[in-house]
Amino acid sequence: MPLAILALAVSAFGIGTAEFVMMGLLPNVAGDLGTSVPTAGYLVSAYALGVVVGAPLLTALGSRIPRKRMLLLLMGLFTLGNLGSAVAPGYATLLAGRFLAGLPHGAFFGVGAVVASRLVTEDRKARAVAAMFLGLTVANIVGVPAATALGQHLGWRATFVVVSVVGLIALASLALLVPRLPEEEHGGLAQELGALREPQVLLGLLTAVFGFAGVFAVYSYLASMMTEVTGFADGTVSVLLALFGVGMTLGVLLAGPLTDRALRPTLYGSLAALAVVLVGFHFAAHSKVAAPIAVVVLGAVGFLTTTPVQMLVMNKARRAPTLASASNHSAFNLANAGGAWLGGAAIAAGWGWTSPALVGAVLAVVGLGIAITAGVLDHRAPGALSPVVTAGAQRQREVADEVGA
């Protein structure tokens, strides 16, 4: 893998740390700013809203900007948002800082995925994209626990100062290691929007919303499940969350080569496995032996779905993949919000702390149904030929032209 992908992974590490660290700092922030923990929870939502809004908006605005320059601008905005969070004098300004930090998230991963896929040969594109996402998963193993501990001992502002420093390191890495891609690879806004209207792209985004919502229906309430149902002490929650991060990393490592080999079968298999694992999690959560294993497996199977969906959307929007790729991260954050809401609704209805796992299983099945439907429609679509057949037909036309001449 080119060193440029390391720069993308470092950037993903910083973004992943900033996204998830607030969940562990809510009591500290609430106490310092004189607000309640539920109100402080809107700081998590502000970041997610920034991702949903910023992914299509910033990608569209930057459709004519060379991709390397766009990556630098997005990482600069991310760093600025975290610096603003670190010095925010009150709740409202911190809310604005979180929203600003979230704005470049989806656009960065959208552009970064396209850049990563352009840096390698055709048979290694998914592995390159997965390598970039490793920074995001490693953040959940190392970055988030370390930043949370730092914030608890030195104050939450110190956490955002450190994240800003990581942003500056990422900026330097991007500037030094990422090459400038040829100008002809950039399409205009109209071309990007046209690609986003492709039925297969829309079905891919819908698959991400429903399929990944199943993961976040459980992850959002994982700490409560482990303490209220499994019986773990509060102090072990950070370890269990790190185990989830280990599973995420394993899933991404597996997803790259599997997606390069067989994209749709990997997507179908991961969603089907996710549904089964979520049902199993409902029962495993009652055992102190089985629960940690289930946490790792859920992280692995859940994040096994990310790379095939990302590559599917990019492939079906091949003429202008950047906006579609970025919109995929809006879809993942909608899945985050929707899964958390549905899981919380199940708990509020009195179905029990582990009921979000069953809700998640249903969502995963819906996502699988959408993915299979998209595959059938794609297979039946006029001109849906294999690359070999298409290349053969093209060669036949060339020979015919030569004979005619």
Per-residue pLDDT band for 396 (boundaries 50, 70, 90) equals: very low
Domains of the chain plus CATH, in order, are 1-186 (1.20.1250.20), 187-405 (1.20.1250.20)
Asked if the model's pLDDT at residue 192 lies above 90, the reply is no
Residue 17 three-state SS: helix
Side-chain-side CA neighbours of 333 within 13 Å: the count stands at 27
Chain centre distance of CA 220: 15
**The pLDDT of residue 344:** 85
What token pair was written down for 97? 């800082």
**The pLDDT of residue 387:** 41
**The pLDDT of residue 294:** 96
**The pLDDT of residue 392:** 45
Q: Is 262 left (phi over 0), alpha (psi -120 to 50) or beta?
A: beta
Which residue bears the tokens 């626990």? 145
pTM above 0.85? no
Q: Can you tell me the distance from the alpha carbon of 239 to that of 264, in angstroms, rounded to the nearest whole number? A: 34
Q: Of all residues in the chain, what percent carry a pLDDT higher than 70?
A: 89
- Comparing 79-88, 201-210, 245-254, 317-326, the range with the smallest average pLDDT is 317-326
Q: Can you tell me the distance from the alpha carbon of 91 to that of 97, in angstroms, rounded to the nearest whole number? A: 10
Chain centre distance of CA 55: 12
Per-residue pLDDT band for 101 (boundaries 50, 70, 90) equals: very high
Per-residue pLDDT band for 382 (boundaries 50, 70, 90) equals: low
What token pair was written down for 200? 């297969």
What pLDDT digit, counting tens, does each position of 308-341 carry? 998 898 888 776 677 787 888 888 888 887 888 8
**The pLDDT of residue 227:** 85
Instruction: From 253, 238, 46, 245, select the one nearest 129 (Cα to Cα).
Output: 253
Where is mean pLDDT largest: 56-70, 117-131, 207-221, 361-375?
A: 361-375
CA angle in degrees (0–180, nearest 5) for 114-118-122 = 115
Q: What is the DSSP string of 189-228?
A: HHHHHHHHT-HHHHHHHHHHHHHHHHHHHHHTTHHHHIII
Q: Can you tell me the distance from the alpha carbon of 104 to that of 219, in angstroms, rounded to the nearest whole number? A: 24
**The pLDDT of residue 187:** 55
Q: Can you tell me the distance from the alpha carbon of 364 to that of 369, in angstroms, rounded to the nearest whole number? A: 9
Cα-atom radius of gyration of the chain, to the nearest Å?
Answer: 21
Q: Can you tell me the distance from the alpha carbon of 357 to that of 60, in angstroms, rounded to the nearest whole number? A: 36
Per-residue pLDDT band for 190 (boundaries 50, 70, 90) equals: low
H helices, E strands: number in the chain:
18, 0
**Helix 144-154 vs helix 3-33: angle between axes, to the nearest 10 degrees?**
30
Chain centre distance of CA 205: 12
How many CB atoms lie under 10 A from the CB of residue 190? 10
Asked if the model's pLDDT at residue 189 lies above 80, the reply is no
Which ranges of 42-90 would DSSP assign to H, the alpha helix?
42-61, 67-86
